[in-house]
Amino acid sequence: MFNKLESLLAKTDIILSSEQKQQLVDYVNMLNKWNKAYNLTSVRDPEQMLVRHIMDSIVVNPFLQGTRFIDVGTGPGLPGIPLAIVRPDSHFTLLDSLGKRVRFLRQVQHELGLTNVEPVQSRVEEFTPEVLFDGVISRAFASLQDMLSWCHHLPKATDGRFYALKGIVPEEELTQLPSGISLDAVIPLLVPEQEGQRHLVVLK
């Protein structure tokens, strides 16, 4: 698994320490183990998890601005846990409404010694942060409109951003952005061994 991760990373510009690589592999092993009982992801093969979960998450890192992020609808911690591992100086709130997922996240936090994540069980529209976020990240929402309507209260008003991980560019959704929201960037993402297009849509 470690060698597989290294071969994937070698196809990118991402430089990680041995400890970070080990944490990512340990996370996949935990995900694989818990998945048998908790059904956390439809991806069953750990090597595929490295591609479709780990690499798909961490390629976003260079484009994030700020240090305080919330991963809404994080599920088993995607993309929040991999990003927290590769971005140790940033803090990630991991929000999910399902108790079994949050229990898994707390176990990951404990076993991997991640001090920069905070798992929270809540519906996103009911969650009120004490401090607003530099970035709201999600790869779970069906549409940008849903993300904006449920998460509008989470980013900083001045320079907060929404980061939506998407497949193909959601052209139609981008023509229907509500007032006060503008498109900052659409960034093509290169995920080694991942089929199909991947894009990061940044809104502010």
- Type of residue at 125: E
Q: Are 35 and 41 in contact (CB under 8 A)?
A: yes
**123 is an annotated ligand-binding site residue:** no
Q: From residue 94, give the alpha-carbon distance in Å to each of 4, 6, 86, 129, 166.
A: 27, 26, 16, 12, 19
**28 is an annotated ligand-binding site residue:** no
**78 is an annotated ligand-binding site residue:** yes
Q: What is the enclosing helix (H) or strand (E) of 184?
A: strand 183-188
Q: Is the peptide bond before 79 cis (omega within 30 degrees of 0)?
A: yes
Q: Are 55 and 83 in contact (CB under 8 A)?
A: no
Q: Do β-strands 183-188 and 199-203 pair in parallel, antiparallel, or remain unpaired?
A: antiparallel
Distance CA 22, CA 30 (A): 12
**40 is an annotated ligand-binding site residue:** no
Q: Do β-strands 68-72 and 117-121 pair in parallel, antiparallel, or remain unpaired?
A: unpaired
**126 is an annotated ligand-binding site residue:** no
Which parts are annotated binding residues? 73, 78, 124-125, 139
Q: Which residues participate in the annotated binding site for S-adenosyl-L-methionine?
A: 73, 78, 124-125, 139
